[in-house]
């Protein structure tokens, strides 16, 4: 379902089907990038980052967006604001497809 500001909500699904976290974005990829930044296993570089599968169910639908996701630590830019930490987590995702949940 689309909110008034044009964003949609996506629930992060565990392997057992539970949904604990919700990420919002105007596209599924935007929500997937937010979820990927919170992965437990983070690499030292993009090439060395371990890959994980994340599944996001679009709220109000039966669509599950499946992504391969990875995250890594990197140094903040030189012109960073004072509040930004010295190391930041960056992420990337690659869409694997869309699945549809079975009706109960």
Q: Which of 66, 69, 19 is nearest to 43 (CA)?
A: 69
Q: Is 90 exceeded by the pLDDT of residue 15? A: no
Largest CA distance in the chain: 53
pLDDT in tens, 31-90: 999 999 999 999 999 999 999 999 999 999 999 999 999 999 999 999 999 999 999 999
Question: Contact 84/69 with Cβ under 8 angstroms?
Answer: no
How far apart CA 35 and CA 38 sit, in angstroms, is 5
């Amino acid at each position: 379902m689309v909110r008034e500001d044009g964003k949609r909500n996506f629930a992060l699904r565990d392997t057992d089907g539970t949904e604990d976290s919700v990420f919002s974005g105007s596209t599924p990829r935007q929500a997937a990038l937010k979820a990927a930044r919170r992965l437990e296993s983070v690499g030292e570089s993009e090439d060395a980052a371990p890959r994980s599968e994340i599944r996001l169910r679009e709220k109000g639908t039966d669509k599950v967006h499946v992504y391969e996701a990875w995250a890594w630590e990197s140094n903040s830019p030189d012109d960073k604001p004072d509040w930004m930490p010295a190391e930041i987590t960056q992420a990337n995702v690659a869409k694997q497809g869309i699945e549809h949940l079975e009706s109960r």
